[in-house]
Structures are given as structure tokens and as C-alpha cells.
Amino acid sequence: MRLKALMLNTFKEAARNRIFYLLIVFGIVFALSSRLISLLTVGDTVKVLKDIGLAVINFFSVLVAVFTGINLIYKEIDKKTIYNLLSKPISREQFIIGKFLGLALTVLAALAAMALVFFLFLLLTTGSFDAPILLYFLMLYFELLIVIAISLLFSSFSTPILSSIFTLSLYLIGHMLWTYNEFKYQLTDPALRYLSDFLYYILPNLEKFNIKNAVVMRIPVAGDQILNAILYALAYILSILALSIAIFRRREFP
């Protein structure tokens, strides 16, 4: 019940944020504008429409996940409401987990809104319902959960500006990690190779969740690939939350 109350309170707090609605509206508008762009391009207009629309939704979903996550703990501390919360029978572990669940619900609502409008737009434009796109949104949601956990980690000990920089940097690194893995084979020093292996495994590998090209090109996605990505997301999220709790336990509030 405590976690449920924290989760719902976090969701309501995030939903009252004007940036939350602004990002959703921008995401929907830009996704719908993909129709105009597809008409100006040469090739399969339906594929271009899907490719641009899904890319835009991905971009704005990440912004929602980052900019709603980096402020929650900081606002509680800045407005001194953290004292009221922790004075109640709520542990710091429950506080972090409740915030994460609330953010997960917030991002789910934002993603569902953009996905619904995009599906309706596709249905009116192409006259068909493309079911594989649902799989894309499922994978995107698990990727966003990792981004939420990371933003919550940094917000537990840093300012919103630094938290946003760190989170977005890790997001970009997570989508370029495959190039880093290729780079480590060029290293000759064993110590550097061990260090590169360590960094490779602790950094988030977000490319595991990127199936946009396969969905747009109607290439089947293997079931074990989906399962491995989901299990990876759950393990990574639990690790990040454990680290966030460990940091938040030691933090003293002025």
C-alpha cells in the first residue's frame, strides 16, 4: 500500500508538469508530420512514414523519461517535503522503488498516448493495422525503464542539470556501445583490454532494444532476442535501483 501510494503520488506529480504534456504534444505533432516528409521522399512512402514516425516517438519518449525523472528527488529535497515523507513509516528503499514505479507509469501513459495516435494515423493513411509495431513499442518501453532507472540514480545525488547530462550521455553511449566493443580489439595492453571489458559490461547496451529497422522492413524478430533483451533490462534495472538505494541510504539532508 505504501509503494502504491508513492507510485500514484509520483504519477500525479509528474502528470502535473507542463513539460510532460508539452513533450507528448510535440511528439505527436512531429510523428504526424512524418506523412508530409514521406510524400517528399523517393521510395516506399509507407516505410518512410513508419521509420520517421517511430524515430520521433522514440526521441520524445526518451525526453519524457529523462526530464521527468531528474527532477523528482531533487524537488522533494529542494521543497523540504522529503522530511515529511521519511518521517512517515516509509523506508528509503520504498521511497526509491515507489518513485521508479511512478515514473514507469508516467512514461507508460505518455508512450501509450503517442502510440495510440500513431496507430490511428497509420490506419487512416494506409488502411491497415501493423501489429509488429506493438513489439517495437514493447521493446522501447523496456529501454525507457532503463533510462528511468539511470535518471533516478543520478538524481539521488546530483542536480537536475548534471543528472540530465549524465543520463543523456549514457543513453547515447548505450546506442553506440557496439562500436566500443569493436574498438577494444585494437588495444594491445592487457590492462586496457580488461578495463574496456569491464566498461562494456557495466554500461547500458540499449541497442539490444532497437528493432525499428526490422519492424519497418517487416523482418521477423527472433523470440529469443526479445526474451534476452527483456531479461537484460530487468537485471540492469534491479542493479541500478540497488545502487540508487545504497547511495540514497547514505545521503544526509541539511
Backbone angles phi, psi at 206, to 5 degrees: -80, -15
Backbone angles phi, psi at 217, to 5 degrees: -85, 5
- What integer pLDDT is reported at residue 20 of this predicted model? 65
For the chain, the domains span 2-250
Lowest-pLDDT range of 144-148, 193-197, 221-225: 193-197
- Convert the pLDDT of each residue in 122-175 to its tens digit: 777 777 777 788 999 999 999 999 999 999 898 888 888 888 899 999 999 888
Residues of the chain with pLDDT > 70, as a percent, come to 81
Contacts for 169 with CB less than 8 Å, ≥ 6 apart:
none
How far is Cα 145 from Cα 175, in angstroms, rounded to an integer?
A: 15
- Convert the pLDDT of each residue in 56-110 to its tens digit: 888 888 988 888 878 777 777 766 676 676 667 777 788 888 889 988 988 898 8
Cα–Cα distances in Å, from 129 out to 56, 126, 224? 19, 8, 25
User: What pTM did the predictor assign?
Assistant: 0.86
Contacts for 45 with CB less than 8 Å, ≥ 6 apart:
38, 39
Residue count of the chain? 254
**Whether pLDDT at 186 is above 80:** no
In sign, the C-alpha dihedral spanning 24, 176, 205, 163 is negative
**Whether pLDDT at 234 is above 80:** yes
How far is Cα 30 from Cα 147, in angstroms, rounded to an integer?
A: 22
pLDDT band, residue 240 (cuts 50/70/90): very high
Tally DSSP H helices, then E strands, for the chain: 12, 0
Tell me which DSSP letter residue 207 carries. G
